[in-house]
Structure 1
Amino acid sequence: MTSPALTAALHRIDAVFGGMTAPAEGCLHCYGADELALLAVPRTPLGDELLLRFFHKVPDHFTDHAATVRRLLPELFALLASGRRSGVAAPTGLGRTAWRSWPCEQVAAIEGFLDVWWRETLADPEPPYGVGAVWELCVDMHRSLAPVHDVWAAAPRGGTEDRHLGDWVAYRIDELLQDDPFVLPWNMDGEALLPGLRSWLVEHAVPRLAGHPDPLLARKVALLALAPEERWPAYAELIASAG
């Protein structure tokens, strides 16, 4: 069931973007003319499959990609909030637009939905999509780590948010130790964002992982503060000492 806060965020999205249209023009290799025609009809439901096919295509498949994304947002965000579809993944259409340059009320509505959706995902012991998937989508749509990680950092210690953080770090720690840029959405500049991600984890994840079932996890995360030439000898020593 959608929470009151998420319902309010969806109502705001609908108030701002509902009724918008986009040109019924696009790639006729990927879409039928009848499918593209629906973009020009306000509030006509597209259905999950076509909605996602529109939302994940690269911008050059449409004559006005930004207008297409705005047309999709009420139905797309309602789909995300429902948790009924697991096939939503990055990269996203919203992440491929310069939406922060849109009118203020549009920017505020998008920020409001993403913030509530992320907060409620972290607070839910069993979120429909899983924290890792929502993290990736929010990072992709924001094109930034800060709005997502600021919420995590501000969460109370010892709660569900910390358990989710531990699960996410445990799943990703080997890639993080190897400086794998594909920890981040593949269409973002992982090389540029990795230093900030490592620093954030060292500062915020290490103290939150003190009670994690894996007693080495927090110590492994702490190694992210080291340069690779120092990290791997320290890692080998850590593993040896634990054995």
Structure 2
Amino acid sequence: MASPALTSALRRVDAVFGGMTAPAEGCTYCYGEEHLALLAVPGAPLGDDLLGPFFHEVPSHFPDHPAVVRRLLPEVFARLAAGRVDGMGFMPTGLGRVAWQTWPAEQAAAIAGFLDTWWRETLADPAPRQGVNAVWELSVDFHQAVAPLLDVWAAAPRGGVEEQHLADFVERWIDDLLWDQVIGWSADESLLDELRVWLVGHAVDRLSGHPDPLLVRKVALLALGEEERDAAFAELVAPAGRGGPAAT
């Protein structure tokens, strides 16, 4: 069940986007006309069979792709708030393709409000149903940015649940970031560079008491260029007998 804050954010999304429609047109090779016709019916539920495919469809399949995304948002966000990422949890998404930040202020604010609340509550939950990584990946795609997510983490109190999630996040992604193997949630190298800089500036201090002494030292290596990083990593792990990916 969604929290009061998330329920309020959903109501705002529904108030802004709930009556919107999109042209009943699109790729009839992929969708039946009866399916496309639902886009022109305000609030008609699309369900599992159509919501995900419509939300992840390439823009060229619809004459007005932003209108389709607007039409889908109440149902998409309600699903996410209920802890369901089935059919939603892969990239890219329609919301990440439409530059929604440039939409009318009321629309952009409703989307930003939901995403901010969803992320904050995920970090504050000791065991979020969807998992921090799943929400992170979708949120990065939705925002096409990492700063809105990192700003929330930076402002979180020290020693709290958010810090434990940060440790788990770093453990999950540090090797991928070190070896430039991140895929899926960001093909934009500038976002990965921004994340690396942020982790060096914030995670090194916050994770200083982590039980794995190598973790913080690995994070510090993100400040180095690729060649320096490789050499420093080899020196770091040599005494422990650990290494990076096997040479090819």
TM bucket, shorter chain: over 0.9
Q: Secondary structure at the match of 1:225?
A: coil
- Residue of structure 1 in register with 2:54 after alignment: 54
Alpha-carbon distance between aligned partners in 2 of 1:98 and 1:147, rounded to the nearest angstrom: 15
Q: CA deviation at 1:159?
A: 1.1
- Residue of structure 1 in register with 2:77 after alignment: 77
Alpha-carbon distance between aligned partners in 1 of 2:125 and 2:177, rounded to the nearest angstrom: 25
1:196 aligns with 2:194: yes
Q: CA deviation at 1:209?
A: 1.3
Alpha-carbon distance between aligned partners in 2 of 1:146 and 1:29, rounded to the nearest angstrom: 39
Counterpart mapping for 1:3-18 below 5 A: 3-18=3-18
Q: CA deviation at 1:181?
A: 4.6
- Residue of structure 1 in register with 2:232 after alignment: 234
Structure having the higher helix fraction is 1
Aligned residues: 240
Q: CA deviation at 1:240?
A: 2.6
Shifted more, 214-223 versus 109-118: the winner is 214-223
C-alpha contact (below 8 Å) 1:20/1:71 kept by paired residues: yes
Alpha-carbon distance between aligned partners in 2 of 1:156 and 1:139, rounded to the nearest angstrom: 22
Q: CA deviation at 1:49?
A: 2.9
Q: What is the RMSD of the two structures over their aligned residues, measured on CA atoms?
A: 1.4
Structure 2 residue ranges without an equivalent (≥5): 242-248
Alpha-carbon distance between aligned partners in 2 of 1:98 and 1:173, rounded to the nearest angstrom: 29
Alpha-carbon distance between aligned partners in 1 of 2:153 and 2:66, rounded to the nearest angstrom: 30
Q: CA deviation at 1:57?
A: 0.6
Sequence identity (%): 68
1:223 aligns with 2:221: yes
| 2:106 counterpart letter in structure 1 | E
What's the CA shift string for 1:50-91, capped at 9, x where partnerless? 111100011011110000000000010000000134342221
Structure 1 residue ranges without an equivalent (≥5): none
C-alpha contact (below 8 Å) 1:21/1:40 kept by paired residues: yes
Shifted more, 204-213 versus 30-39: the winner is 204-213
- TM-score (norm: length of structure 1): 0.94
Alpha-carbon distance between aligned partners in 2 of 1:84 and 1:233, rounded to the nearest angstrom: 43
Q: CA deviation at 1:163?
A: 1.1
| 2:221 counterpart letter in structure 1 | L
- TM-score (norm: length of structure 2): 0.92
Alpha-carbon distance between aligned partners in 2 of 1:222 and 1:112, rounded to the nearest angstrom: 33
| 1:53 counterpart letter in structure 2 | P
- Residue of structure 2 in register with 1:43 after alignment: 43
- Residue of structure 2 in register with 1:170 after alignment: 171
1:137 aligns with 2:138: yes
- Residue of structure 1 in register with 2:125 after alignment: 124
- Residue of structure 2 in register with 1:65 after alignment: 65
Alpha-carbon distance between aligned partners in 2 of 1:63 and 1:212, rounded to the nearest angstrom: 52
C-alpha contact (below 8 Å) 1:86/1:129 kept by paired residues: no
Alpha-carbon distance between aligned partners in 1 of 2:132 and 2:143, rounded to the nearest angstrom: 16
Q: CA deviation at 1:2?
A: 0.7
Q: CA deviation at 1:215?
A: 1.9
